[in-house]
Amino acid sequence: MKSIYIYFLILPFFLTACSPSEPAGLHDPASNTKIALRSFSDTTKLDTFKIVLKGDEPKNMELVFTITPKGGHQIYTKTLKATALLDNYKESIDLAKKKEQLQFMREELSLFFDEENFIEPAVTESEKPDNNTPDKNFFEELKRTGLNGFKYRLGKESKVYIAWSEQDKKVKNYYECCK
């Protein structure tokens, strides 16, 4: 009988220790933060990609996206207002209620670092610039350097592709387009 009690006391500790969890620091639901480590400004070092959902009401919420190289200062910051994102999708998704708006913003946070958004390399040797390429010289620079890119959406039909410019020492848009 005594062994059964010991079994029931130990079982919860065993189950907790064996349960799968995300790697430490990659997602903290309490603070609405996600972090990804990827090579971006240097092909041999990892940069820290961070997205934070700030605010508690849809009207004042925003996604703040930053990129920081290893041991360096922030090289990119972009703030995406919830109101702009919600307005962009209200025609195609039912976002009339606050609960749905909050859920939408949490989904935006969780999908921001999807694998498909990291582009390795940003531009391949065979790619050609088109009308959606804001800087043809930067596009050619990316072909030469082989640096990686990242894309994120500003709305239903608007995506921005960014990469590090070794020449200008800053993050720049190399493509802006639709779906």
Residue 33 lies in a domain: yes
**Three-state secondary structure readout of 114-176:** CHHHEECCCCCCCCCCCCCCCCHHHHHHHHHHCCCEEEEEEECCEEEEEEEECCCCEEEEEEE
- Give the global pTM: 0.80
| Structural domain total, the chain | 1
> Is 118 inside any structural domain?
yes
Q: Give me the chain's average pLDDT, please.
A: 85
Query: Does residue 103 lie in a domain region?
Result: yes
Which pLDDT score, from 0 to 100, does residue 91 have?
Answer: 75
Ranges under pLDDT 70 in the chain: 1-31, 179
The domain of 113 spans: 22-177
Please check whether residue 135 lies inside any domain of the structure.
yes
Using one digit for the tens of pLDDT, what is the confidence trace for 68-95?
999 889 999 999 999 998 888 877 778 8
